[in-house]
Structure 1
Amino acid sequence: MARNGGASAREQARKLQQEQERKQKMQSLMLRLGVVAVALVVVIGLTFWVLTREDAGSYTEGDAPAAANEQGGFVLTSSTELAEGEDLGRVDSEELEEVPIGEGADGLPTGVQPREEGQVPHVIIYTDPGCPACGSFESAYHGLLMQWLDAGAITLEYRSVNFQTAYSARAANAFACMADESPENYFDFLGTITAERAQGADYSNDELSSRAQNDYGVNISECIDDGTYRAFVNYTTTLATANGATATPLIWVDDQLAEPYMETGDLIMAAVQEYQDETGEDLLGIDEQDLEEIDEEGAPEQSEAEDGEPAEDAEEDEDDAAEETEED
């Protein structure tokens, strides 16, 4: 009997040990599964953050580049020089009561005014880097604008807006970053990136940073990634809308609107010719054949904002439309 009791006790002990080992294995498995689950949550969260951080946020209040003027424009006095800005500090696109809107001569947009005798013609361009027509304009006119600028025949002001897609905001922010960090490259960077939109370019923040680094040796990745001037872009866009600029490209040569915008060259030529007659200087230096070739090529119509408000996440709609077109 004692032997049987001992065997029973050993069997019970063995079963208890097996049960304990089973529980330990289960606990170990659950622990590993928990670690994997947490890791997956972290990875998914980080992935979502990376994918959405470029376009997330309301961006209503933030810093403005020092070179910007009160309407969100950057004034070029040559292809490598920006005029001194108004040092706006922080801007808020939802608080614009004190910003002059529509106070130009004869109700023109702020900053648009007739040229006074002896004054260099001033060109203002409302442009959207996500606008294919703006890309076509830069492709056609960028070289001519550079010639006029460097000849001292015009001053040129870009007001970059965000009407089209979330890409518009990213690229316009990158332009502002370049204006702040490396103003001598602002004109070429804006012109090149915008022109490539005509071929469908839609660059990520990393790609915009790489272009700045590789093409100009300028590191503006932190400014681009942080969206430092995204609020400023919305500020400029809100002012543009208030001034009646709801389509891009929209170009003023002094107080003359280029409508259609491909008449820009003729308007500039006329203004510069008047300026030359007044000053006796010979600044034109543009072959009229260049303008004739541009006119013959033609270009798409202006791109209009649907509601005149800064674009947020319109890229998905644009992709859907492209897919529908391919299906048709």
Structure 2
Amino acid sequence: MTNDRSGAQPTKNEKRAAAREKAQQARLEQKKKERRNRYLLQGGIILGILAAIAVVVMVVVSSIPKTYPGPANMLSDGIRIGAGFVAEPTAALQPGESPVASEPTEDSDVVDIRIYLDYFCPACGAFEEANNDQIATWVDSGAATLEIHPVSILDRASLNSQYSTRAANAAACVANYSPDSFFAYNSLLFENQPAEGTTGLDNDELKALAKEAGVAQLGSVETCIDDVRFKKWVNAATARAFEGPLPNADIERVEKTPTVIVNGTAYTGSINDPAEFAKFVSTQSGNAFTDEQKSTPSPSPSPSPAA
């Protein structure tokens, strides 16, 4: 007789086994679900962290000042101006490159004058007031070239307005966009030189002087002034001047402003005695200026023959 349980109800043992199997299957499914949720949660956290990092990186990168080349026409860290106040054109100094010293003039009768100055410096203002007219006469007539190197060492004296840097930047903007207006703009910056211990001229005033100087591309110059586009160049050029070595000079570095170098020799005389400076220029030139140059109208003395 066979034991056929077809259609019979499951025994208690079979029910318990089936229940255990069902419970085990449920536990496996729950573990899979928990594992899946954990992966999703971890993935979401990682994605969130990556997104947060990306935002931080974007903010940091956007806050880093853009690195621009130096101003055009100031490859030597200065702008050289010749006859008729026409500036010598040069390429812009690229980031990371070293300045290239201006080539000596081929005409030995033309005097080379270089001035390192800070537009907030009272001594620079005194030198400018005493000597600008006669320097203008020599440069305009072609008897001398003038190379101006703006530096920034007196920001601390401008009540946190960074006037020295802003003024040097404004001069660099003019050199870049309207180099033949540089001499006029340089003169106006000193004619309107603010006193130390003030905030100096604001950007609107610097832009107004650029307009008065007759700069070309005025809109570009104004934007350049507002953006302080050449701030990093001003800082780097200042460091180079004070660290040295200076090219074609009998001094190693700039130690004060103004530093005036004539045909490679630093001027150590009075900053507000135009006759003394004129004599020094004549001595360094090795010869007197021509009668025609002497007769050029000037309210300041022309150089006298070397002693």
Q: State the TM-score, normalized to the length of structure 1.
A: 0.58
Q: Kindly provide the amino acid, as one letter, of the partner of residue 265 in structure 2.
A: Q
Q: State the TM-score, normalized to the length of structure 2.
A: 0.61
Q: Is the 8 A contact 1:130 1:197 kept in 2?
A: yes
User: Which has the higher Rg, Structure 1 or Structure 2?
Assistant: 2
Residue 150 (1) aligns with residue 122 (2): no
In the alignment, the residues of structure 2 paired with residue 182 and residue 286 of structure 1 have an alpha-carbon distance, to the nearest angstrom, of: 27
Residue 182 (1) aligns with residue 188 (2): no
Q: Is the 8 A contact 2:86 2:180 kept in 1?
A: yes
Aligned-pair CA distance for 1:273: 6.2
Aligned-pair CA distance for 1:248: 0.3
Residues 254, 198 of structure 1: alpha-carbon distance in 2 compared, 3 angstrom cutoff: farther
In the alignment, the residues of structure 1 paired with residue 281 and residue 193 of structure 2 have an alpha-carbon distance, to the nearest angstrom, of: 24
Cα distance per residue 1:25-54 (max 9 Å; x no partner): xxxxxxxxxxxxxxxxxxxxxxxxxxxxxx
Cα distance per residue 1:168-209 (max 9 Å; x no partner): 110011011111222222101112212432655710112211
* Structure with higher helix content: 1
Aligned-pair CA distance for 1:288: 9.6
Identify the residue that residue 284 of structure 1 maps to in structure 2: 294
Residue 63 (1) aligns with residue 69 (2): yes
Alignment of structure 1 residues 89-238 onto 2, 5 Å: 90-92=94-96, 98=98, 118-165=108-155, 166-197=162-193, 202-216=200-214, 218-219=218-219, 220-238=221-239
**What is the aligned-residue RMSD (CA, Å)?**
3.2
- Larger RCO: 1 or 2 (CA < 8 Å, sep 6+): 1
SS in 2 for 1:283: helix
Count of residue pairs the alignment pairs up: 217
In the alignment, the residues of structure 1 paired with residue 212 and residue 259 of structure 2 have an alpha-carbon distance, to the nearest angstrom, of: 31
Q: Is the 8 A contact 2:118 2:124 kept in 1?
A: yes
- Percent identity, aligned pairs only? 25
In the alignment, the residues of structure 2 paired with residue 246 and residue 60 of structure 1 have an alpha-carbon distance, to the nearest angstrom, of: 30
Unaligned runs of 5+ in 1: 1-56, 101-109, 293-328
Aligned-pair CA distance for 1:260: 2.8
Unaligned runs of 5+ in 2: 1-62, 156-161, 245-252, 303-307
Residue 249 (1) aligns with residue 239 (2): no
Identify the residue that residue 13 of structure 2 maps to in structure 1: none
Cα distance per residue 1:69-122 (max 9 Å; x no partner): 23x01000135310121432x334xxx6x557xxxxxxxxx6698x88734110
In the alignment, the residues of structure 2 paired with residue 287 and residue 212 of structure 1 have an alpha-carbon distance, to the nearest angstrom, of: 26
Residues 203, 250 of structure 1: alpha-carbon distance in 2 compared, 3 angstrom cutoff: same
Q: Is the 8 A contact 1:174 1:224 kept in 2?
A: yes
In the alignment, the residues of structure 2 paired with residue 255 and residue 66 of structure 1 have an alpha-carbon distance, to the nearest angstrom, of: 24
Residues 214, 187 of structure 1: alpha-carbon distance in 2 compared, 3 angstrom cutoff: closer
Q: Is the 8 A contact 2:188 2:213 kept in 1?
A: no
Q: Is the 8 A contact 1:69 1:87 kept in 2?
A: yes
Which deviates more, 216-225 or 121-130? 216-225
Q: Is the 8 A contact 2:134 2:298 kept in 1?
A: no
Q: Is the 8 A contact 1:78 1:155 kept in 2?
A: yes
Q: Is the 8 A contact 2:82 2:88 kept in 1?
A: yes
Cα distance per residue 1:113-136 (max 9 Å; x no partner): 8x8873411000001001011111
Residues 124, 214 of structure 1: alpha-carbon distance in 2 compared, 3 angstrom cutoff: closer
Residue 258 (1) aligns with residue 267 (2): yes
Q: Kindly provide the amino acid, as one letter, of the partner of residue 67 in structure 1.
A: N
